[in-house]
Amino acid sequence: MIANNREGVKMLELHERIRELRKNYLHMSQTAFGAKLGVSRSVINNIELNALARPDQKLSLIKLMCKEFSVNEEWLLHGSMPMFVAPDTFSLDQYLKERGCTALEMEIVKAYFDLDADTRQKVFDHFQARLSAAKERLTAAADAGQQQEEEAPPLELKPVSEMTHAEIDQFSEQLRQELHREKAAAVKSPASPGSGTNGNGPPIAAGSSGADSATG
């Protein structure tokens, strides 16, 4: 029997809605649809032809269809919209895929959750400590760089004739600090062999022997 709704549009029967669901919305063959429900293709074919030998089997399959494909049971049984309902379960695979995770990243996430709770906590604490230490190092480096910039502003060159006495004093102090920094950097870097020094003292003048003779 074909029923009509208030607008006179044909309403599908239960077996027709099942076929509509499988073919036009899920785009699955009878074989694939049956495999998801744990039955053979012939069972699905008989359901869609409304020729199932055991009508009681249809009820259990309807429950399974609704669970497996997030179908609204009211729609499947009576045609009441909406057709689908939001799934109650959270799919980790779907969540990760939507965010562009690679297969390797998905395996790493799954391996993490395969660990027992105590081991997961230890892994979490380890990485949290590493991240905190790295953040502290970056913050300290940024603070040191900012402090150095504040202590040693760039030298501003302008004609001496245009400089005030205060600006001359400030420039002299900046130059003195710059020279001290260069000297400190040079001390930290060891002299390379053959650089013209004896390792301890000032450069040895070219052409001089270790001890100049006082004889004329």
Nearest Cα residue to 75 out of 167, 161, 13:
13
pLDDT of residue 20: 94
The alpha carbon of residue 153 and the mean position of all alpha carbons in its chain are separated, in whole angstroms, by: 39
pLDDT of residue 95: 78
**What residue spans define the domains of the chain?**
3-78, 90-151, 154-189
Per-residue pLDDT of the chain (216 residues; tens, 9 = 90+): 444 444 433 578 999 999 999 999 999 999 999 999 999 999 999 999 998 777 777 888 999 999 888 899 999 998 888 998 876 666 777 778 778 888 888 888 888 888 888 898 988 888 888 888 888 888 888 877 666 655 555 555 566 666 677 777 777 777 777 777 777 877 776 554 544 444 444 554 444 444 444 444
- Overall pTM surpassing 0.75 (yes/no): no
The DSSP code sequence of 11-48 is: EPPHHHHHHHIIIIIS---HHHHHHHHT--HHHHHHHH
Report the greatest alpha carbon distance in the chain. Answer: 136
Per the structure block, which two tokens stand in for 171?
A: 């420039």
What's the fold here for domain 3-78?
Answer: 434 Repressor (Amino-terminal Domain) (1.10.260)
* Separation CA 44–CA 37 (nearest Å): 9
The DSSP code sequence of 48-60 is: HTT--S-HHHHHH
Q: What is the DSSP letter of 79?
A: -
Residue 151 Rama label (left phi>0; alpha psi -120 to 50; beta): alpha
Reported as half-sphere exposure (CB side, CA atoms, 13 A), residue 98 has a value of: 5
